[in-house]
Amino acid sequence: MTQNDFLYFLFSLPPLVVAIITWIWGFGSLVFYGLKTKAVRSVVLKSPGMMIGDFFILPTITFLITYFYQTIKNPLPLTTSFWWTMIMGLVSLFFAAILAVKFNPKNLWFLPHSLFIWFMTYLLFTFLSKGFYQLIFGENTLKLWLIWVLVLVGILIHEFLGIIKSKNFPH
């Protein structure tokens, strides 16, 4: 399913490695920005969206997505389409730009996490759409459906936690 995806190399890694990369980049970039703004204790460690979402849920989601992709033996031709990847790339760039503006893009120190927001947005839009298509019209097992649903529920929980206490760093 990832043959024409520019993140193909990432999905060829073991799922645990992808989860660790996500944890270092996602949670690590928040800690990095928290250190710069002196807000590790006041923002990072007190935010359920960061401590549960970025620390645990997002790495788990990328583990599950990578495992799902590696489990599919016969991907449908449309799911391997270059155009699907390009469209999802553009859509996710648009949504990631909106999210990045919300989180203060004026500060260059936030750039690593802004790039992470785009990465996760792309990863989720691509997976949820390709995975759903694959499950409806192609290979589908209870295990694959469970993974897809867990990813969807995981991202909804992360977003809900972010709404409860948003990521507001001092300027």
Q: What angle do CA 135, 80, 88 make, to 5 degrees?
A: 85
Residue 79 within a domain = yes
Residue 3 within a domain = no
Q: How many CB atoms lie within 10 A of CB 97?
A: 15
Distance of CA 150 to the CA centre of its chain: 13
pLDDT band at 105 (very low <50, low <70, confident <90, very high): low
Where in the sequence is the domain holding 114, given as residue range(s)?
A: 8-164
Residue 169 within a domain = no
What the block records as the tokens of 68 is 């799902």
Residue 31 within a domain = yes
Task: Provide the domain count of the chain.
Answer: 1
19-78 pLDDT per residue, tens: 999 999 999 999 998 898 888 988 888 888 899 999 999 999 999 999 999 999 999 999
Q: CA dihedral defined by 6, 73, 91, 111, rounded to 10 degrees? A: -50
Residue 29 within a domain = yes
Of 18, 56, 61, 75, the residue nearest 147 (C-alpha) = 61
pTM of the model: 0.92
Residue 49 within a domain = yes
pLDDT band at 129 (very low <50, low <70, confident <90, very high): very high
Q: What is the pLDDT of residue 39?
A: 87
How far apart, in whole angstroms, are the C-alpha atoms of residue 3 and residue 81? Answer: 8
- Contacts by residues 129-133 (CB-CB < 8 Å, ≥ 24 positions apart): 129/84, 129/88, 130/1, 130/79, 130/84, 131/1, 131/68, 133/76, 133/78, 133/79
Of 119, 100, 112, the residue nearest 167 (C-alpha) = 100
Residue 43 within a domain = yes
Q: What is the pLDDT of residue 171?
A: 67
Residue 33 within a domain = yes
110-122 pLDDT per residue, tens: 788 888 989 999 9
